[in-house]
């Protein structure tokens, strides 16, 4: 029961974050007149469709104009364009929640649709694929290296990891990506420079998968490099703090083998704070993904952000801001569950 309660509280606070972002964006959109523009565009788009279908049946031009004018007034009232923007707040929030943001100005989905939801949802899996694989690789390497160097403080390896972690904090993911492109794609010519598939893509499913894998190497590698240093360092510090505790000394004094002490008495205790630092690094890796996708032309939501900015496509940008926040909240919640599972104190309070 208590476990469920904790999760509900965590979940609620994350929903508050999501709603804050939603309202913040809607208020900004309303107060700057963007919401009016978005809705007016939607109205005229609907009227254009109506005019096309009606012109088959109604021959008289004045009658046609009359019908369309009536419909325009209906639509304006329906979308609330006749009232100030703040009356439309709940409606706008709902529209963003359902990604019902009308049509993109110039951007198209890969299948040719210009509906914002089609464009954004099509890219979502690619971003999720990139972020999750990078996070999993980073966590595994970070855990392994972090624990290893915690046992040999002052060694050459420990010092170089510490320096590497400091340097990677100052290393923008996008610049590193550019360097990797120059190095691996143009100098050594061993990896593709951008995109997700070769042109033309292979037809056989397994070859297609391999092709995707090869294209993913550089972006994932970039993301791992920028975050693995600080992560190993965080793990090292946490493990080091706990290994100085009395109960660890007791375990050693009992004569338990070192790897058992490490596994049962140190890592098990260090696990919750390690997950916390993973949580804290989450917004960073999300931002890193946006920039990495842009550099590598990876067709995910981050690259779409860049394209939408260049094309000044506001409805796509609104949708993306919401989707990234949603992605963050979901990832965050998964980590919170992991935290609760790892830390018995939260469960049996």
Question: Which lies closer to other proteins via its Cβ, residue 139 or residue 325?
Answer: 325
Relative orientation angle of helices 282-296 and 301-311, to the nearest 10 degrees: 60
CB of 106 to other proteins, least distance (A): 15
Question: Which lies closer to other proteins via its Cβ, residue 67 or residue 194?
Answer: 194
Question: Which lies closer to other proteins via its Cβ, residue 113 or residue 321?
Answer: 321
Question: Which lies closer to other proteins via its Cβ, residue 118 or residue 314?
Answer: 314
Any residues with CB less than 8 A from the CB of 76 and at least 6 apart, and which? 43, 82
Relative orientation angle of helices 268-280 and 205-243, to the nearest 10 degrees: 120
- φ, ψ of residue 115 to 5 degrees: the values are -75, 135
CB of 324 to other proteins, least distance (A): 4
Question: Which lies closer to other proteins via its Cβ, residue 197 or residue 306?
Answer: 306
Q: Are 283 and 327 in contact (CB under 8 A)?
A: no
Contact residues toward other proteins (CB under 8 A) are 13-14, 16-17, 20-21, 24-25, 28-29, 32, 34, 153-154, 166-167, 169-172, 174-175, 178-179, 181-182, 186, 193, 282-283, 286-287, 290-291, 294-295, 305-306, 309-310, 314, 317-318, 320-321, 324-325, 328, 332
**Distance set, CA 153 to CA 164, 234, 239 (Å):** 15, 14, 11
Tokens of 206: 């397994």
CB of 66 to other proteins, least distance (A): 38
CB of 108 to other proteins, least distance (A): 20
What's the N-to-C CA distance of the chain in angstroms?
A: 11
CB of 286 to other proteins, least distance (A): 5
DSSP codes of every residue in 89-136: HHHHHHHHHTT---B-SS---TTS--BHHHHHHHHHHHHHHHHHHHHH
CB of 298 to other proteins, least distance (A): 14
Tokens of 188: 């050594």
Can you name the residues that pair with 115 across neighbouring β-strands?
103
Q: Where are the alpha helices (DSSP H) in 151-180?
A: 156-169, 173-180
**Distance set, CA 348 to CA 235, 276, 307 (Å):** 26, 19, 49
CB of 280 to other proteins, least distance (A): 9
């Amino acid at each position: 029961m208590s476990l469920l309660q904790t999760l509900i509280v965590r979940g609620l606070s994350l929903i508050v974050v999501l709603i804050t972002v939603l309202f913040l964006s809607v208020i900004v959109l309303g107060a700057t007149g963007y919401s009016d523009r978005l809705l007016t565009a939607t109205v005229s788009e609907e009227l254009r469709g109506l005019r096309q279908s009606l012109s088959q049946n109604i021959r008289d031009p004045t009658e046609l104009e009359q019908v369309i004018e009536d419909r325009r007034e209906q639509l304006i009232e329906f979308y609330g364009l006749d009232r100030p923007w703040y009356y439309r707040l709940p409606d706008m929030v709902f529209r963003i929640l359902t990604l019902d943001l009308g049509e993109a100005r110039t951007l198209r989905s890969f299948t040719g649709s210009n509906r914002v939801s089609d464009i954004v949802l099509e890219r979502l899996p690619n971003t999720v694929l990139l972020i999750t694989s990078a996070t999993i690789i980073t966590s595994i390497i970070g855990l392994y290296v972090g624990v290893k160097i915690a046992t040999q403080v002052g060694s050459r390896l420990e010092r170089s990891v510490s320096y590497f972690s400091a340097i990677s904090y100052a290393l923008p993911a996008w610049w590193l990506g550019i360097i990797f492109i120059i190095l691996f794609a143009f100098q050594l010519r061993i990896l593709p420079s951008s995109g997700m598939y070769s042109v033309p893509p292979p037809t056989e499913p397994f070859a297609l998968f391999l092709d995707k894998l090869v294209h993913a190497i550089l972006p994932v590698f970039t993301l791992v490099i920028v975050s693995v240093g600080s992560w190993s360092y965080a793990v090292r510090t946490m493990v080091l703090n706990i290994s100085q505790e009395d109960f660890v000394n007791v375990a050693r004094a009992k004569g338990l083998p070192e790897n058992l002490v490490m596994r049962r008495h140190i890592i098990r205790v260090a696990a919750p704070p390690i997950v916390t630092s993973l949580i804290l690094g989450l917004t960073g890796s999300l931002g890193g993904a946006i920039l990495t996708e842009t550099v590598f032309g990876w067709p995910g939501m981050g690259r779409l952000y860049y394209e939408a900015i260049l094309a000044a496509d506001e409805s796509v940008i609104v949708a993306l801001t919401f989707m990234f926040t949603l992605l963050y909240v979901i990832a965050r919640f998964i980590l919170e569950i992991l935290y609760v599972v790892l830390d018995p104190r939260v469960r049996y309070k």
